[in-house]
Amino acid sequence: MSAMTMVEPEVTMNSVAKVTEISAISETSFEDACRLAIERAGHSLRNIRAAWIKEQSLEIRHGKIVGFKVDMKVTFVLDGD
């Protein structure tokens, strides 16, 4: 498993950022679950600047891995003056 690290968001001196938690599941990999989560979040959130992987887990059925789940915190900069 690869670890992902928090990257400082690119913000200006007079900006405000918000953090929200999201989850995603992929049938293929943790990396794919991360990609899916960020792509989907981008449909609803603007100005996404960073993500932190809070937890990774596997969904297992009949002794086989059937899902790779990630829970993450996503940072985005709020619009406005």
Instruction: Annotate the chain with three-state secondary structure.
Output: CCCCCCCCCCCCCCCCEEEEEEEEEECCCHHHHHHHHHHHHHHHCCCEEEEEEEEEEEEEECCEEEEEEEEEEEEEECCCC
Decide which of 3.40.50.2300, 3.40.50.720, 3.40.1800.10, 3.30.1660.10 is the CATH code for 17-77: 3.30.1660.10
pTM equals 0.77
pLDDT digits 0-9 by tens, 28-71: 999 999 999 999 999 999 999 999 999 999 999 999 999 999 99
